[in-house]
């Protein structure tokens, strides 16, 4: 059976490759920083289960320390721009087929693991989606290699080129999700719930739904990631008020609550991997301002989406 442990091994080996290739790249003046950063991340995936809380905590602090001093950007040797342009012209839209393999395998693997009698023998049903996503990525890379026949090292070098461009922000969602779990254990959700109870009368279904969805968006704006806001706001309003007091369907409430949080992601510079990195890559003239062009372009979409999520939760989560 393929489990989450196997997915962690694949991720760990990937980051280990990024670390080694970074160390060998003489064009990157900060290659040692990149080597340490991606190497420590690889260690957390490969050996995190054996290091204990203290060891993993030290790794997290090490990642923060290295990122504080900054990572560099190398110049990996992959296919040339002319080769990529010629390949794109020759194959056209068919180049998107490997990318479509990933969601197809993720969906198919999840359904097989959970809806068939033999699926659990292949994939752990408890982590079916994540495991299937990893399988989809591996299959897509294999198909692309067999079809396009680039140099064997090309997938790793191209991955390093992209990950160097994104930098430390590539793991920001993981770090913020962990921070959300810490906040939950520390009881922040209960305190936020008390604040909502004092300043907002949560004695009406509609008001409770608005409080939860808007709270998810606002807390995501502060934290920079919906995964960090979710445990706090769900413990504060989602479960005790919307689900337990008013009888909302927990699956629908939690799913739409996450979507409401993602609306906040579109409106905050704290979501550096989504909003700051693209602005830098595109070299927008206002990329240094908190509300850069990426965020300003997304706000007119985020606000109607937040309203739509509020309406959907109010309509779908409460049986008539």
Residue 182 domain-assigned? no
Whether 302 has a pLDDT exceeding 80, the answer reads yes
Residue 176 domain-assigned? no
Longest CA span, the chain = 65
Assess whether 210 and 133 both reside in one domain.
no
Give the Cα separation of 182 and 188 in Å (integer). 9
SS3 295: helix
Of 110, 139, 167, the residue at which a domain comes to its end is: 167
CA distances from 290 to 189, 217, 227 (A): 27, 17, 22
Assess whether 163 and 195 both reside in one domain.
no
Query: How does 28-60 read in b/e, with b if 16+ C-beta sit within 10 Å?
Result: bebbebbbbbbbbbbbbbbeeeeeeeeebeebb
Whether 311 has a pLDDT exceeding 90, the answer reads yes
CA Rg, the chain, in Å? 22
Q: Which two tokens stand for residue 232?
A: 């706090």
Whether 50 has a pLDDT exceeding 70, the answer reads yes
Residue 172 domain-assigned? no
Give the Cα separation of 125 and 127 in Å (integer). 5
- The mean pLDDT of the chain is 86
Of 167, 196, 211, the residue at which a domain comes to its end is: 167
Assess whether 209 and 158 both reside in one domain.
no
Phi/psi-derived region of residue 101, left when phi > 0, alpha when psi is between -120 and 50, beta in every other case = alpha
Whether 278 has a pLDDT exceeding 80, the answer reads no
- Model pLDDT for residues 126-177, shown as the tens digit of each residue: 888 889 999 999 999 999 999 888 888 888 988 898 888 888 878 877 777 7
Contact 275, 294 (CB under 8 A): yes
Residue 179 domain-assigned? no
CA distances from 89 to 132, 165, 273 (A): 32, 25, 30
Task: Please report where in the chains the tokens 């950007």 appear, as a residue.
Answer: 73
DSSP 154-174: HHHHHHHHHHHHHGGGGGHHH
Residue 156 domain-assigned? yes
Residue 177 domain-assigned? no
* Per-residue confidence band for 36, with pLDDT thresholds at 50, 70 and 90: very high
2 beta partners: 123
Assess whether 121 and 254 both reside in one domain.
no
Phi/psi-derived region of residue 92, left when phi > 0, alpha when psi is between -120 and 50, beta in every other case = left
Q: Which two tokens stand for residue 210?
A: 């608005």
Query: Under 8 Å CB-to-CB from 274, ≥6 apart: which residues?
Result: 265, 266
Residue range 290-310: mean pLDDT, rounded = 89
Whether 15 has a pLDDT exceeding 90, the answer reads yes
Assess whether 201 and 163 both reside in one domain.
no
- Least reliable range by pLDDT among 13-22, 67-76, 95-104: 67-76
- Least reliable range by pLDDT among 48-57, 100-109, 262-271, 274-283: 274-283
Q: Which two tokens stand for residue 70?
A: 């900054």
The total of structural domains in the chain comes to: 2
Residue range 236-244: mean pLDDT, rounded = 89
123 beta partners: 2
Query: Under 8 Å CB-to-CB from 143, ≥6 apart: which residues?
Result: 97, 98, 101
Give the Cα separation of 167 and 256 in Å (integer). 30
Q: Which domain does 248 fall in, by range?
A: 187-316
* Per-residue confidence band for 45, with pLDDT thresholds at 50, 70 and 90: very high
Assess whether 202 and 151 both reside in one domain.
no
Assess whether 153 and 268 both reside in one domain.
no
CA distances from 31 to 74, 83, 157, 229, 252 (A): 8, 27, 14, 34, 46
Contact 261, 220 (CB under 8 A): yes
Give the Cα separation of 119 and 105 in Å (integer). 13
Give the Cα separation of 92 and 94 in Å (integer). 5
Give the Cα separation of 316 and 248 in Å (integer). 9
């Amino acid at each position: 059976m393929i489990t989450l442990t196997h997915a962690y091994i694949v991720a760990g080996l990937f980051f280990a490759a990024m670390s080694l290739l970074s160390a060998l790249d003489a064009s990157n003046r900060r290659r040692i920083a990149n080597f340490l950063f991606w190497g420590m991340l690889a260690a957390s995936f490969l050996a995190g289960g054996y290091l204990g809380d203290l060891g993993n905590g030290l790794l997290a602090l090490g990642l923060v320390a290295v990122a504080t001093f900054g990572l560099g950007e190398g110049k990996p040797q992959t296919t040339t721009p002319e080769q990529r342009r010629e390949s794109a012209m020759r194959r056209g839209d068919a180049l998107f087929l490997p990318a479509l393999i990933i969601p197809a395998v993720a969906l198919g693997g999840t359904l097989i693991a959970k809806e068939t009698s033999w699926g659990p023998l292949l994939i752990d049903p408890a982590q079916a989606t994540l495991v299937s996503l990893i399988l989809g990525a591996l299959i897509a890379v294999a198909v692309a290699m067999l079809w396009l026949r680039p140099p064997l090292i090309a997938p790793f070098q191209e991955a390093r080129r992209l990950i160097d461009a994104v930098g430390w922000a590539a793991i920001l969602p993981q770090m913020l999700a962990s921070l959300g779990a810490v906040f939950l254990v520390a009881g922040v959700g209960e305190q936020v719930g008390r604040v909502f109870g004092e300043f907002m009368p949560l004695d009406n279904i509609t008001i409770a739904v608005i409080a939860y969805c808007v709270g998810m968006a606002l807390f995501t704006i502060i934290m920079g990631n919906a995964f960090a806001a979710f445990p706090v706001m769900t413990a504060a309003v989602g479960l005790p008020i919307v689900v337990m007091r008013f009888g909302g369907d927990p699956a629908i409430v939690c799913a739409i609550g996450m979507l409401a949080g993602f609306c906040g992601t579109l409106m905050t510079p704290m979501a550096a991997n989504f909003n700051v990195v693209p602005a830098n890559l595109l070299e927008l003239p206002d990329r240094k301002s908190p509300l850069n062009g990426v965020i300003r372009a997304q706000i007119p979409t985020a606000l109607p989406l937040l309203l739509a999520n509020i309406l959907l939760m109010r309509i779908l989560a409460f049986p008539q």
